[in-house]
A and B are shown apart, each in its own frame.
Chain A
């Protein structure tokens, strides 16, 4: 009996990617919205219009094509407000994450590289900032600094930096003892050059993974604070704030709470999916998982 391999006859299966394409696309759309919101918004998001108050989205009976996602109790266009809300949410998330990341990387490198007493002191400081559940830490900071868009960015950066410092420190400790660092030392490179050229590039992967996951967390944190009335304040627009506003009209206008909430959930879902994918690919040793 002849054994003939016919495998080559079968159509070759395309290798399926495990990248979250839809999620990445949605993130891209949100970013585009956030950047181009002022150009794309069909209405002024803060302009009241008492002639069309509490209009439902277009697919409902009384909905109109002019206000695709309906209007709120002051007749403000929900779609425009959601677009501007995307800008506020993403701006807060990006700026706060970049600040927290930069600060955390700097302190983590100093602690991990210097070691000794400096390291010990920094790690106790990190523990202190992680000693409270993150919303409580944020609330304690809001109580001191006050609410408002600018302060919220500062509050979130201060709430988040410690995890970057802890992650970077543990990464630096493992990189520092590798042969190429010794080699660099032997070849007479300065400490600064070693840190910048050999240590930093090696810890950047895990920091980026944490940053993407953090953007998702930060969107939740910002919207939670805004919902509690301690975050973004009017006339600035935020998804969390829209939910807090719409709460009182829940009986008559479901879209005021359901739609902004759905956007928060989708945004967080997408950034999480991209972050998880990045974790699988760029952090195979699982250092992000253990550090946070």
Chain B
């Protein structure tokens, strides 16, 4: 376990270093930042000064090392657009995104797991079809469309919830439901599949032979065994959740990381783009690592490969 831990940790470090390199290269690919920040009446000497000040006259590898050193202390430079540090822009937006993601994940579990259990145990073909359709449609419908349709129905036609912004609990409802529909669609599918598998297992047959009540078998024997893959999957869904959050935030003007990134790209605000991409990458990788390790703690059958 210890050697596995070390290996995994090293892997993540290498990936992280490569990610910074990628981000750095991408920023350089996008061209010279000078015309973006300099006023239009700037002279050639001003440009020269700017390049020297930001180290753009240095060789590539030196520039990267400077970038890396600054990134390590959280310094991505000042936002081109707002007169504050890029990391600050990202830092203010992050809690909003995490709130949205956490609330959506919780909602998705509350919708998805019960539906999945019903899907695995129901004898009615109509119910089964309805649950299967929910799962297939929820995965296929693009989130920005679901968001707009919900907005049209529950913010415009029936003015129950605010259509955009953040603040009260009511603001949270439509974006959370939008994201939760997408995530719960896969939770339903996965719960159904794993419950069905658990129901076929020998220990369930044994429990039935022993005459245990159905409810007990389902909840204690089946659901417990099915929950492990579901937990892992939810950890991995975080990527989909963050991806979805970008789009959903844009639809509902939710002041989170996704909105910040899209605005930054539209304004070509590179320090903010770099900070936002790296911070979300770090969050994503950290949680993936945690899920991977927890999985091994919960399920000793998984060999440290």
Binding site for B on A (CB under 8 A): 124-125, 127-128, 131-136, 139-146, 216, 220, 223-224, 227-230, 240, 243, 247, 250-251, 254, 257-258, 261-262, 264-266, 268-269, 272-273
Min C-beta distance of B244 to chain A, whole Å: 8
B161 within 8 A of partner (CB): no
Encoded as 1 (CB less than 8 Å from any A CB) or 0, chain B from 256 to 269 comes to: 00000110111010
A140 touches B26 (CB 8 A): yes
Kindly identify which residue among B11, B140, B270, B277 contacts A265, using a CB–CB cutoff of 8 Å: B140
Residue ID in chain B nearest A260 by CB atoms: B145
Q: Which of B137, B144, B262, B281: most chain A CB closer than 10 A?
A: B144
B152 within 8 A of partner (CB): yes
A227 touches B246 (CB 8 A): no
Q: Which of B27, B140, B240, B266: most chain A CB closer than 10 A?
A: B140
Chain B positions within 8 Å of A251 at CB level:
156
Residue ID in chain B nearest A270 by CB atoms: B140
CA gap between A233 and B262 in the complex, in Å: 15
B141 touches A261 (CB 8 A): yes
CA gap between A278 and B66 in the complex, in Å: 49
- Given known contacts A135-B243, A140-B23, A265-B137, what 16 new A-B pairs fall within 8 Å (CB)? A124-B14, A124-B15, A133-B242, A134-B239, A135-B247, A136-B277, A140-B26, A143-B273, A216-B140, A223-B142, A223-B144, A228-B247, A250-B151, A250-B156, A265-B141, A273-B136
Chain A positions within 8 Å of B139 at CB level:
268, 272
Chain B interface residue count, CB cutoff 8 Å, equals: 49
CA gap between A128 and B152 in the complex, in Å: 39
Q: Which of A143, A227, A228: most chain B CB closer than 10 A?
A: A143
B130 within 8 A of partner (CB): no
Q: For window 15-62 of chain B, which residues contact chain A by CB distance below 8 Å?
A: 15-16, 18-19, 22-23, 26-27, 29-30
B243 touches A143 (CB 8 A): no
Chain A positions within 8 Å of B243 at CB level:
133-136
B281 touches A250 (CB 8 A): no
B140 touches A136 (CB 8 A): no
Give the A-B pair count, Cβ closer than 8 A.
Answer: 137
Chain A positions within 8 Å of B145 at CB level:
243, 257, 261-262, 264-265
B148 touches A136 (CB 8 A): no
A250-B265 in contact given A135-B246, A265-B145, A269-B136 (Cβ < 8 Å): no
B284 touches A133 (CB 8 A): yes
Residue ID in chain B nearest A127 by CB atoms: B15
Residue ID in chain B nearest A262 by CB atoms: B145
Residue ID in chain A nearest B269 by CB atoms: A143
A265 touches B142 (CB 8 A): yes
Q: Decide if the interface of chain A is mainly helix, strand, loop or mixed.
A: helix
B140 touches A261 (CB 8 A): no
Min C-beta distance of B86 to chain A, whole Å: 13
Chain B positions within 8 Å of A131 at CB level:
15-16, 19, 281, 284-285
B247 touches A227 (CB 8 A): yes
B30 touches A144 (CB 8 A): yes
B280 within 8 A of partner (CB): yes
CA gap between A131 and B285 in the complex, in Å: 6
A257-B148 in contact given A124-B11, A139-B262 (Cβ < 8 Å): yes
Min C-beta distance of A144 to chain B, whole Å: 4
Chain A positions within 8 Å of B14 at CB level:
124, 127
B149 within 8 A of partner (CB): yes
CA gap between A124 and B22 in the complex, in Å: 12
Q: Report, nearest first, the 9 A-B pairs whose CB atoms are least far apart.
A: A261-B145, A144-B26, A135-B243, A269-B140, A133-B239, A268-B140, A128-B18, A265-B141, A133-B243
Chain B positions within 8 Å of A247 at CB level:
148
Q: Which of A216, A227, A230, A262: most chain B CB closer than 10 A?
A: A227
Chain A positions within 8 Å of B19 at CB level:
128, 131-132
A139-B265 in contact given A127-B15, A254-B152 (Cβ < 8 Å): yes
CA gap between A144 and B29 in the complex, in Å: 6
Residue ID in chain A nearest B20 by CB atoms: A128
Kindly identify which residue among A142, A227, A262, A265 contacts B265, using a CB–CB cutoff of 8 Å: A142
A140 touches B273 (CB 8 A): yes
CA gap between A38 and B139 in the complex, in Å: 31
A128-B22 in contact given A144-B29, A145-B29, A265-B140 (Cβ < 8 Å): yes
B140 touches A224 (CB 8 A): no
Chain A positions within 8 Å of B284 at CB level:
131-133
A272 touches B136 (CB 8 A): yes
A140 touches B277 (CB 8 A): yes
Min C-beta distance of B214 to chain A, whole Å: 29
Residue ID in chain B nearest A138 by CB atoms: B243
CA gap between A179 and B209 in the complex, in Å: 45
Min C-beta distance of A228 to chain B, whole Å: 5
Chain A positions within 8 Å of B148 at CB level:
243, 247, 250, 257, 261
